[in-house]
Every structure is written in C-alpha cells, then in structure tokens.
C-alpha cells in the first residue's frame, strides 16, 4: 500500500468517526399547552421562515429595542433572534459511591451514602433530571441480590424509611430545590404540592425505567443546581445475605425541557 492509499484510509476513518458524532439536536419548545410549551415568540411587523434544499432562514422585521444587554448578574436577550441562542446542558455526577458502614450478612444493618448531581443549563425552559437502574433488582452481587425498596403505597414514596426484619431494601430519596413534588412532604406525607424537602424523607425504589426526580422551568446558568440523591440499603436482622460486594449501576439523565 503506497503513501497515498494510507492517507486515503486515514482520512476516511476520521471522516466516518466524525460522522458518528453528528447528532441532530431537537429543538426547544415554543408553545405551551397541556402538551406543549412556547419557548419564545415575537410580535413584530414582518419576518418568515424560508427554506431551500440546503438552507433554512428565519428572519424577523420591525422589532423594537432588540439586542443583548448584560450586567454582572443578568443577561438581557431582547427580541426574537436573541433568544435563539445555543443551548447548554451539563450534568456532573460521581463515578462511584460506596455505602457505609458495611452490612452484616447475618446480623443485618443499614448502609448509607449520598450522590451529588449537578446540572447546568441555559435553556429557558429549564431541565428535568431522571434516574434509573440497569437491573431489577438494582443491587446485586455475584451470587446474591438485595431487594429493591418497597413502598407502602404504590407509586408514592414512603415518608420514613422502613424495611421488614426478614427482608432487604435498596432505595433512594432526592433532595434539592428542584425536586419533584412527589418527593416533597406535607404533614408527614409525601407528594405534597409545594411541600417541604425534609432530609431523609420520601424514600422511593429504583426501576429500570427512568423516574423523574427533579425539574426546573427556568435556566440556572451560571450557578449549578445540585440534587442530592440519598442512597440507602438495609438488611433486616432476620434476613440473610451472602457476603460480598453488591453493586448497582445507576444512570442519571438530564434533558432540557
């Protein structure tokens, strides 16, 4: 193979690799109803969406006082075109959490840990954070498994953590200013609209389907919003677990609204 062919092969590989990353982004919402949301709109004297085979143009005409103004604390985007900014979404989570203390296989016990997730977005409609496990039950070892936490009422988190002495449970509760109402509590009951976010309350279980744990309808850029995910495992004192390292693989997904 001569040098020209080598160059061709390298270029081709790079080109294909690049193509793999060409992910077509979805648009942010523009109208709002039960199912939709208006992200931004404009009242003006003209403008339209024009398209050709290869290009698309969206122009406006006659807007008053449009443009960008910024101060130390705020950025003002006035006018339709100013709103069409690049959307940023960033999610930060730890790679591994070890719950402590260790649990006695025959005597049982409670292990506990916190995962701190941080989301940053400039999306005007905010973001939604969801969580899911890769297996059911979520936490397993090579030769044994820990049951998923069981709530007293279906689809409703438990205000207080409770695992029967003869079984085990692995669950979570989110905490933070953006958590869903499902995880807020009012008068010792979870699911209160606009309720409190008391620590160590409103425990839920993992599923392989995503569960929304926090959401915001406004951007938070440049200050990260943290959602603590408290994780807890309990084995009852009449329950038996094989010794070993139990692992759950948890996926956190942040998506713009």
Q: Are 255 and 127 in contact (CB under 8 A)?
A: yes
Query: Minimum Å distance from CB 193 to another protein?
Result: 13
| Backbone angle region of 230, left / alpha / beta, with phi > 0 → left and psi within -120 to 50 → alpha | beta
Vertex 228, ends 226 and 232: CA angle to 5°? 170
User: Which among 36-44, 48-56, 62-70, 220-228 is the span making contact with another protein, rule CB under 8 A?
Assistant: 220-228
Query: Minimum Å distance from CB 214 to another protein?
Result: 13
Query: Minimum Å distance from CB 100 to another protein?
Result: 5
User: Which among 31-39, 48-56, 101-109, 149-157 is the span making contact with another protein, rule CB under 8 A?
Assistant: 101-109
**Taking the CA atoms of the chain, what radius of gyration do you get in angstroms?**
25
Strands 67-70 and 75-78: antiparallel
Residue 186 within binding range of another protein, rule CB under 8 A: no
Query: Minimum Å distance from CB 76 to another protein?
Result: 15
Residue 91 within binding range of another protein, rule CB under 8 A: yes
Residue 192 within binding range of another protein, rule CB under 8 A: no
> Residue 19: in which H helix or E strand, if any?
helix 3-20
**What residues from 15 to 74 belong to the interface with another protein (CB under 8 A)?**
15, 17-18, 20-23, 25-26, 28, 72-73
The DSSP result for 197-223, as a single string, is --TT-SBEE--SS-EEEEEESS--TTS
Residue 165 within binding range of another protein, rule CB under 8 A: no
Q: How far apart are CA 23 and CA 217, in angstroms?
A: 25
Q: How many residues bind another protein (CB under 8 A)?
A: 90
Closer to another protein by Cβ: residue 45 or 143:
143
Residue 225 within binding range of another protein, rule CB under 8 A: no
Q: Measured on CA atoms in the order 70, 75, 79, 84, is the torsion positive or negative?
A: positive
User: Which among 49-57, 75-83, 86-94, 185-193 is the span making contact with another protein, rule CB under 8 A?
Assistant: 86-94
Q: How far apart are CA 86 and CA 74, in angstroms?
A: 17
Exactly one of 42, 116, 167, 207 binds another protein (CB under 8 A); which one? 116
């Amino acid at each position: 193979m001569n040098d020209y062919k080598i160059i061709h092969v390298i270029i081709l590989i790079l080109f294909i690799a690049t193509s793999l990353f060409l992910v077509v982004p979805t648009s942010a919402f523009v109208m709002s109803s039960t199912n939709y949301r208006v992200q931004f709109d404009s009242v003006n004297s003209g403008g339209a969406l024009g398209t050709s085979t290869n290009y698309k143009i969206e122009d406006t005409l006659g807007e008053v006082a449009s443009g960008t103004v910024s101060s130390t604390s705020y950025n003002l985007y006035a006018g339709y075109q100013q709103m069409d900014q690049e959307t940023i979404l960033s999610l930060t989570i730890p790679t591994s959490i070890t719950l402590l203390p260790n649990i006695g296989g025959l005597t049982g016990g409670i292990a506990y840990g916190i995962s701190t997730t941080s989301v940053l977005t400039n999306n005007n409609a905010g973001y939604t954070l969801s969580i899911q496990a890769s297996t059911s039950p979520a936490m397993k070892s090579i030769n044994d498994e820990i049951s998923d936490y069981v709530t007293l009422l279906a689809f409703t988190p438990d205000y207080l953590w409770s695992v029967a002495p003869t079984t085990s449970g692995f669950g979570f509760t989110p905490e933070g200013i953006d958590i869903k109402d499902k995880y807020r509590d009012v008068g010792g009951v979870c699911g209160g609209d606009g309720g409190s976010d008391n620590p160590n309350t409103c425990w839920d279980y993992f599923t392989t389907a995503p569960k929304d744990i926090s959401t915001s309808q406004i951007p938070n850029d440049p200050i990260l919003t943290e959602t603590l995910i408290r994780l807890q495992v309990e084995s009852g004192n009449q329950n038996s677990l094989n010794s070993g390292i139990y692992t759950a693989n948890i996926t956190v997904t942040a998506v713009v609204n």
